[in-house]
A and B are shown apart, each in its own frame.
Chain A
Amino acid sequence: MITAFAIFSDGLVYAAYLFLVAVGLTLIFGVMKILNVTHGSFYAFGAYGAATAVGIWFDRGLSDAGGFLFMVGVAMLIGLVIGLILERGILRLVYGRDEVVIVLVTYAAFLILEDVIVLVWGPRSYPAYQPMVSAGSIDIGELTLSNYDIGLVVLAAALAVAVWWSLKYTRYGRLLTVVIFDREVAAAYGINVKVIYTVTFIIGAMLGALGGAVMAPKISVTLGIGVEVIVLAFAVVAIGGMGSIEGALIGALIVGLGRAAAVHLMPEIELFVIYAVMALVLAFRPYGLFTQPAPRKI
Chain B
Amino acid sequence: MKHLRWSLALAAGLTLASGASAQQAAAPAAPVKLGIVSFLSGPAASPFGVPGRNGAEIVIEAFNSGKAPAPYNTVGLGGAKIEIKWVDEAGSTAQVVTEFRNLVQRDQVDAVVGYISSGSCLAVTPVADELKALTVYFDCGTPRVFEEKPREYVFRPSSHATKDNTAAARYLIAKKKDITLFSGINQNYAWGQDSWKDFNAAMGVLAPKAKADKVLFPKLFQGEFGAEISTLLTSKSQALHSSFWDGDQESFIIQSGARGLQKRMPYVGTTAESAIWRLRDKMPDGTIIGARGAHGPLAPDNALNTWFKGIYMDRYGTPPTYPSYQMALSLLGLKVAWEKAQAAKGGGKPTTDEVVKAFKGIEYDSPSGKVKMALGNGHQGIQDTAYGTYRFNKRTNQPEVVDIVRYPAECVNPPSDKSAEEWIKAGMPGAKC
Contacts and interface: CB of A to CB of B under 8 A. Distances in A.
Given A145-B259, A222-B247, A263-B216, 19 more contacts: A3-B234, A6-B231, A10-B227, A115-B41, A123-B41, A123-B50, A124-B50, A137-B260, A142-B234, A144-B261, A215-B224, A218-B224, A218-B254, A219-B247, A220-B278, A224-B42, A263-B218, A263-B227, A270-B217
B282 interface: yes
Nearest to A149: B226
13 contacts: A11-B227, A14-B226, A14-B227, A127-B282, A132-B254, A132-B255, A218-B255, A222-B43, A223-B45, A263-B231, A264-B227, A270-B218, A270-B219
A224 B43 CA distance: 5
A215 B223 contact: yes
Nearest to B249: A220
B230 interface: yes
A277 B234 CA distance: 27
Interface in B43-77: 43, 45-47, 49-50
Contacts of B231: 6, 263-264, 267
A35 to B, nearest CB: 22
Contacts of B219: 270-271
Contact-residue size bin, chain A (C-beta under 8 Å from the other chain): 35 or more
A2 interface: yes
Interface centre among A7, A14, A218 (most CB of B within 10 A): A218
Interface string A98-126: 00000000000000001100100001110
B46 A222 contact: yes
A137 B188 CA distance: 29
A198 interface: no
B25 interface: no
B40 interface: yes
A44 to B, nearest CB: 11
Q: Interface majority SS on A: helix, strand, loop or mixed?
A: helix
Nearest to A259: B227
Contact of B46 (A114, A125, A260): A125
Nearest to B214: A267
A148 interface: yes
Nearest to B50: A123
Interface string B141-169: 00000000000000000000000000000
B254 A228 contact: no
Contacts of A158: none
A155 interface: no
Interface in A221-251: 221-225, 228
Contact of A127 (B42, B218, B226, B278): B278
Contact of B188 (A17, A221, A271): A271
A16 to B, nearest CB: 10
A143 B232 CA distance: 10
B228 interface: yes
Contacts of B259: 137, 144-146
Interface of B: 40-43, 45-47, 49-50, 188, 214-219, 221-224, 226-228, 230-231, 233-234, 246-247, 249-251, 254-255, 257-261, 278-279, 282
Given A127-B250, A222-B46, A223-B41, A267 B282 contact: no
Q: Interface majority SS on B: helix, strand, loop or mixed?
A: helix
A124 B234 CA distance: 34
A267 B47 contact: no
A188 B51 CA distance: 59
B41 to A, nearest CB: 6
A9 interface: yes
Interface string A204-223: 00000000000101111111
Sorted from nearest, which 6 A-B pairs have the closest CB atoms?
Answer: A220-B250, A220-B247, A123-B45, A263-B227, A10-B227, A224-B43
B217 A10 contact: no
B46 A263 contact: no
Contacts of B234: 2-3, 6, 142-143, 264
Interface in A137-175: 137, 142-146, 148-149
B254 A143 contact: no
Interface in A1-41: 2-3, 6-7, 9-11, 13-14, 17
B53 to A, nearest CB: 9
Contacts of B223: 215, 218-219, 225, 228
Contacts of B214: 267
A133 interface: yes
Interface of A: 2-3, 6-7, 9-11, 13-14, 17, 114-115, 118, 123-125, 127, 129, 132-133, 135, 137, 142-146, 148-149, 215, 217-225, 228, 259-260, 263-264, 267-268, 270-271
A186 to B, nearest CB: 38
Nearest to B261: A144
A137 B50 CA distance: 35
B303 to A, nearest CB: 30
Contacts of B254: 127, 129, 132-133, 217-220
A133 B230 contact: no
Given A225-B247, A271-B219, A142 B258 contact: no
Contacts of B233: 6, 142-144
A260 B234 CA distance: 14
A133 B46 contact: no
A212 to B, nearest CB: 11
A10 B231 CA distance: 10
B257 A133 contact: yes
B45 to A, nearest CB: 4
A132 B251 CA distance: 11
Nearest to A127: B278
Interface centre among B224, B228, B259 (most CB of A within 10 A): B224
Given A267-B216, A271-B219, A129 B282 contact: yes
A264 B230 contact: yes
A132 B258 CA distance: 7
Contact of A228 (B40, B221, B255, B258): B221
Nearest to B49: A123
A6 B246 CA distance: 27
A123 B38 CA distance: 12
A125 B215 contact: no
A268 to B, nearest CB: 8
A205 B233 CA distance: 36
A123 B216 contact: no
Nearest to A260: B227
